[in-house]
Amino acid sequence: MKRLLATLALAVTASAAFAHGNVSCPAMPKEEKKGQMELQKKLEGEGWKIRQVKNYNGCYEVYGFDDKGAKAEAFFNPKTFERVYPEDEKAPEKK
């Protein structure tokens, strides 16, 4: 039983060491940011369904369904509204 616990503890620590990189957006003064509501309206205009928008590491983080109806957790630059991809998630090819 003790060995099992030790193995589990090791597995948790080991997987922590393999964590991927995070997502972040450049710091900018508040005035340069556009509103979250504006991002939501823009995305909804493109066919997204939005359930939550919040701040994350300087980005706007959007939860909902994208224009193809797929579950999405997406990050956007608050100034340009450009989508930002975490390192472990590849950006799709441009259409």
Partner 1 sequence: MRVWDALVRLLHWTLAAAVIAAWVSGHWQPSDFDAVHHTAGYVALAAVALRLIWGFVGGRHARFSQFVRGPREVLAYARALRGGHEKRYVGHNPLGGWMALLLWASAAALSITGWLYTTEWLWGYAWLEELHAALGWAVAALVGGHLGGVVVTSWRHRENLVGAMFSGRKRAPEAGDVD
Contact footprint for partner 1 (CB under 8 A): 1-2, 4-5, 8-9, 11-12, 15-16, 19-20, 22-23, 50-52, 54, 56, 61, 63-65, 71, 73, 86, 88-89
Of 4 and 91, which CB lies nearer to partner 1 in the complex structure?
4
Q: Under a CB-based contact definition with an 8 Å cutoff, are residues 60 and 53 in contact?
A: yes
- Which residue lies nearer to partner 1 by CB, 19 or 91? 19
Task: Please report how close the Cβ of residue 11 comes to partner 1 at its closest, in angstroms.
Answer: 8
Q: Could you give the CA distance from residue 94 to residue 6 in angstroms, rounded to a whole number?
A: 47
- Provide the token pair at 5: 């616990």
Least distance between partner 1 and beta carbon 20 (Å): 5
Nearest Cα neighbor of 37 from 1, 73, 81 is: 81
Terminal Cα distance for the chain, rounded: 54
What's CA 85's distance to the chain center, in Å?
7
Work out how close the CB of 35 gets to partner 1 at its nearest, in angstroms, rounded to a whole number: 17
